[in-house]
Structure 1
Amino acid sequence: MSKVYKQMKSINKITNGLLLGLLAVVAMACSSGNTSPRVPGPAVVSMIDVTRSEVTGVDTYPATVVPVNEVELRSQLSGYITKIFVKDGATVTKGQKLYEVDRTKYVASYQQEKSNLATAEANLARVEQDLKRYEALYAKDAIASQKVDYAKADYKSAVAEVAAAKARLSSSANDLQYSVVKAPFAGSIGLHQVREGTQVSPGQPLLNTISSDDPMAVDFVINEKEIPRFIRLKKEGQIDSLFRLAYTNGMQYPYQGRVLAMDRAVGRQTGTITIRLSFPNPDRELIPGMTMSVKVLNQDHGDQITIPFKAVVEQMGEYFVYVEQEGKANQLRIHLGTVVGDQVVVRDGLKGGERLVVDGLQKLRQGAPIQAATAK
């Protein structure tokens, strides 16, 4: 009996549930029959007028400071370093003495060759007098012509010997001169790679490196598409105002630069080319190897159309904005220029005066009705 009662109670619960569900469906059907579908209103967006403003558009390139002139200092002779005339990192002038290689044998060799030249010249003077005397006697038929021929041969031999002695003396003088390594131009030297007593030979080891200080060059790389632009900048008269330099901390270098040279060819694998600028460096603030930023004025200079960057929508690599046209959103494709703070220059696509949507872009599509938000 208890089992039958439990089954009857379960059936009643199921029946009650079905009745409640049926009533709910009927209520929803009645409710839907008494109301009309909602029509979405216009999207509420923020808009501004497109205007023009003064802009100083610059392109920034990573750059490296390099000396205009740089030379490795090496000995051309064999011997020991006997003197070092300057300190590490010194600033030197052109022709200043830097290193001296043991000069003992080179001085002796020079003196020997001077003596040899003097002997050869004395011998030349003697045979020249003999030749003149023999020629005078031959004119009087006092001696045979063979004697004159021998005198002429001796004279030619003496002339050749003098020439050879002069060549040997010049070579010895060069060796003596090379025994002192001098600065080929004004600049700064680095740390000494040798000390007094170091044995050196022609080309080995490296003594030091000297580089020029003022002016200083700055190298940076551009894409080959920009080459025509930089060729034009190089030819224009007022290019000095186009190039600026900045340190890694953002501080601007006080002097302006100019185009010094362009590399001869574009890299086959990179598609880039190196541009070299020249900057005055009177205070020695630029040091070879420094990493800097080159700022070059671009076409976005002067009176330009600028809009908030947040108003730009990117789609498949192209840029668009929405403007209000007869109460609806009209999508326009634009070409962007330089980003200046939170603004961006529009090079093409806007003329100025349009009502630009700046907020609420996520709600928009082409032709959607829009309404300006109430200003707070």
Structure 2
Amino acid sequence: MKMKTNIYITSLVAFASITLLSCGGGKKDDAKAAAANAAQPVKTVAIQQSAAVYFDEYPATIVAQKEVILTPQASGTITGIYFKDGQVVQQGQKLYSIDVPVSNANYDNAVANYEVQRANLVKAEKDAARYHQLDKQDAIAKQQVDYADAALTAARRQVQAAQASINSSKANVNFGLVVAPFTGTIGISKVRVGAAVVAGQTQLNTVSTDNPMAADINISQSDVFKFEKMKTKALSEQLFTLVFGTDPYPESGKIDIIDRAVDPATGTVKARIIFNNKDKMLRSGMTAVIKVKNDHPEPKFIIPNKALVEQLGEFYVYVVTDSSTATQKHVVPGRQLGDRIIINEGLSPGMKIVVEGQQKLKEGAKVKL
């Protein structure tokens, strides 16, 4: 009898334990379900369209609009330098003189030959005049008169040839003089007086203009149409800003020219932007960044980056409905503007999008603002 009683008591205890466990598990499931259905706290913003103004950046190289490397046209020795390094020189101003011994000797020979030919011409003129006078008196053979006329014609041609030789030799002598091809700033001379130079090879110096200065950038083929339209924009619109590090250049730029063809090696087109350089702050060869202002005529939706949710390469935002539920909205993002981004498609004015707390949301979830 005692054994039956013990079995009965043990069974009751086991049943009670199972019942308690079942009741405890149900409460936990109910708690989880309640937590899942609870409204999630989020922060939202009501979106509206606004002007999308941003800047594209292009690496730029500063160049002079005109720049010429000076080389001698004749070989010889530098005999004079007629400028100070770095000064502004005027077009046609004498810069270097070169002693060209051969050219000088040829010029002297040409002058001497000219004098000889002039003397021969004078003699031929006198002979022809005398023979014609004798011919009138029938005192000389006609053949002698013809010879005299032929000699006079030849003498005149010899004088012309001698004059041409002088001009040619003088030009060669002038090759020993280097002048400024245009008004601009000359650099530091690469040669000194007494240095030997070779025609067409030795670099003497560089002359370049310095106001205005240009900045060359490479643009993609797809940007050519946009830049062509910018040609008509006024300088006051400040579309082009030159930046050195964090320091902007005080003058705005304007498109000067867009190259005629695409570079097949890079697939880009060179564009040249000009800047006023009255204070001589820009130097040829400097590197900088040009910021190009983009001002879309049509308003755009611009939202915080953190509102975007990416799923398998697609982008969404959570929109809060009138019933305080969150629904996913597929969007097409555009250009990023710092911590914001342009949305090209998918949104409508007045929508409330979630900007904080969307990590815990799913489609149809209740939200609490």
User: Which TM-score applies when normalising by structure 1?
Assistant: 0.80
CA-to-aligned-CA distance 1:41-100 (integer Å, 9 cap, x gap):
343321011124455322111111011111111112222112222333333222222222
The Cα of 1:284 is off from its aligned counterpart by 0.9
Runs (5+) with no aligned partner, structure 2:
1-12
User: Equivalent residue for 2:160?
Assistant: 163
CA distance in 1, matches of 2:53, 2:143: 94
Equivalent residue, structure 2, for 1:77: 74
Question: Corresponding residue for 2:333?
Answer: 335
SS in 2 for 1:81: strand
CA distance, structure 2, for counterparts of residue 268 and residue 113 of structure 1: 53
Among 97, 100, 114, the alignment partner of 1:100 is 97
- Residues 1:114 and 1:336: Cα distance change in structure 2 (over 3 Å): same
Matches within 5 A, 1:194-343: 194-234=191-231, 236-238=232-234, 241-300=237-296, 304-314=300-310, 319-326=315-322, 327-337=325-335, 339=337, 341-343=338-340
Q: Which moved more, 1:42-51 or 1:25-34?
A: 25-34
Give the gaps of 5 or more residues in structure 1.
1-19
Task: Quickly say closer, same or farther: Cα 1:31–1:372, change in 2 above 3 A.
Answer: closer
Tell whether 2:189 aligns with 1:192: yes
Distance 1:259 1:345 in 2: 27
For 1:38, the equivalent position in structure 2 comes to: 33
Q: Partner amino acid for 2:178? A: V
Q: For the residues of structure 1 that align with 2:319 and 2:297, how far apart are their CA atoms?
A: 25
Contact 2:60 2:290 in 1 (8 A): yes
2:21 to 24, 28, 32: 28
CA–CA distance in structure 2, aligned partners of residues 127 and 91 of structure 1 = 55
2:248 counterpart SS class:
coil
Distance 1:65 1:318, change over 3 A: farther
Task: Report the CA distance between 1:139 and its aligned residue.
Answer: 7.4
| One-letter amino acid of the structure 1 residue matched with residue 261 of structure 2 | A
Paired with 2:233 and 2:115, the residues of 1 have a C-alpha distance of 61
2:177 corresponds to which residue?
180
Q: Deviations over 1:298-323 (max 9, x none)?
A: 24368543222322334566544332
Of residues 278-287 and 316-325 in structure 1, the stretch that sits farther from structure 2 once superposed is 316-325
**Percent of aligned pairs with the same amino acid:** 36
Matches within 5 A, 1:103-182: 106-107=103-104, 109-128=106-125, 130-131=127-128, 143-182=140-179
- Asked if 2 retains the 8 angstrom alpha-carbon contact of 1:55 and 1:303, the reply is yes
Instruction: Answer yes or no: is the 8 Å Cα contact 1:62–1:291 preserved in 2.
Output: yes
- Partner secondary structure for residue 247 of structure 1: strand
2:187–2:205 contact (8 Å) kept in structure 1: yes
Report how far residue 110 of structure 1 moved: 3.3
Is the contact made by 1:328 and 1:369 (CA closer than 8 Å) also made in structure 2?
yes
What is the rounded CA distance, in whole Å, between the counterparts of 2:20 and 2:168 in structure 1? 119
Secondary structure of 1:113's partner? helix
Q: Given that residues 300 and 338 in structure 1 are in contact (C-alpha distance below 8 angstroms), is that contact kept between their aligned partners in structure 2?
A: no
> Equivalent residue of 1:38, what SS?
helix
CA RMSD of aligned residues (A): 3.3
Give the 3-state SS of the residue equivalent to 1:29 in structure 2: helix
The 3 A distance-change label for structure 1 pair 26 and 338 is closer
Corresponding residue SS for 1:83: strand
C-alpha deviation, 1:265, in angstroms: 2.4
Using the size of structure 2 for normalisation, the TM-score is: 0.81
The letter of the residue matching 1:86 is F
Partner SS, residue 86 of structure 2 = coil
Secondary structure of 2:244's counterpart equals coil
Deviations 1:133-163 (A, max 9, x none): 6567667866555334433432442233223
> 1: CA distance between counterparts of 2:75 and 2:229?
52
Report the 3-state secondary structure (helix = DSSP H, G, I; strand = E; otherwise coil) of the residue aligned with 2:247. coil
Displacement of 1:124 in angstroms is 3.5
Q: Residues 304 and 345 of structure 1 are in contact (CA less than 8 Å); yes or no, is this contact kept in structure 2?
A: yes
> How far apart, CA to CA, are the structure 1 residues paired with 2:255 and 2:190?
35
Q: Does the 8 A contact of 2:242 with 2:252 survive in 1? A: no
* Cα displacement (A) at 1:101: 1.4
Displacement, 1:262?
Answer: 2.0
